[in-house]
Amino acid sequence: MSVQRAWTRLVWAVALVGLAVYAAVMLNAEPESGLNSFFSLWVYQGLVVFAVVIAGSRAIAVTRDRVAWTVVTVSLAGSAFAEIYYAAVEPEAYPSVADFAWIAFYPVVYVGIVLLLRRRARSIAGALWLDGITAALGAAALGAAVLVELVLRSTEGSLSTVATNLAYPLGDVLLLSAVFGVFSLTGWRPGRRWLVLGLGVLATAVADAVYLFQASAGTYTEGTVLDVLWPASMLFIAGAAWMDERDERGFAVEGRPLLAVPATCALVSIGVLVYDHFRHVNLLAVVLATATLLMIVSVASMTACLVMRCGFCRR
């Protein structure tokens, strides 16, 4: 067994066992018990820091995609710093230094995703790029209609407070659009690395969304599944660095249901615009939904022109 494969197995074993033990304690221990306090502070921080070690070791040990994984490591390190700072200082001001570090996580990890995709970009056909952009716009429209709208309706206070609260769902929308775009580019067969990375991003978005709903309703409490989703998201994003790349093939359009992506995105966008007719949603969601439909119309127009041109040439 190679050293790299042994390290990969060790990383995943420690991450999954640690996460499972943490989840079991947080979901079953008494909220005010010493065991709960120890795990919510020290074990939580340990899992977060371990995620930084996982991604950082990949950037150091392997030259391939080193820049991309270095960027991902920086994003995870910023999030880990925010967690430790918030736990140690417990700042009363909002937004605090921790909020700026948490918010920075979203655009930085997005850059890492783009850098990972760049290496395979040469094999992407034009039709796949259009599908990817359409999927990204559709996911962003849905995210803006749900997450951003929730913050806009429940946030009050100063401009800095509103802007900070909005930054989190906007970051989720950014990452979700990137992941759905990449998944569409791969024909919804992303391979293990992109699948694990996507699960990490999805866990972040789900945790943020549930927190937003609970915070707006005044029902948020510690010691729930949310306390598991946040470290899980970081561990999955970091663990993707050590996933086997043997299933990473070039992108292929043959055999794919080419109408599935535009049809689904069209339904999502139409749903957002119809909902806006009865209950007003934010401008960003409307713009993204409209852009999605315009992209679908453009793709359909280009496809029709190609069909007509091919038919003319055969004559």
Distance CA 312, CA 315 (A): 5
CA dist list (Å): 304 to 159, 253, 267: 48, 18, 21
Helix axes 66-89, 44-61, angle to 10 degrees: 160
* 174-216 pLDDT per residue, tens: 888 888 888 877 777 788 888 999 999 999 988 888 887 787 7
Tokens representing 59 are: 């950037």
Distance CA 304, CA 181 (A): 24
pTM for this predicted structure: 0.81
Amino acid in position 218: G
CA dist list (Å): 249 to 46, 61, 115, 123, 185: 35, 23, 17, 9, 12
Sign of CA dihedral 109, 226, 182, 287: negative
Distance CA 209, CA 198 (A): 16
Distance CA 70, CA 155 (A): 35
pLDDT at site 308:
56
Contact 107, 174 (CB under 8 A): yes
Tokens representing 240 are: 């993707």
Q: Band of the pLDDT at 231, cuts 50, 70, 90?
A: very high
* 103-144 pLDDT per residue, tens: 999 999 988 988 888 766 555 555 566 666 777 888 888 888
Q: What is the DSSP letter of 256?
A: -
Q: Which residues contact 189 (CB under 8 A, 6 or more apart)?
A: none
Distance CA 295, CA 290 (A): 9
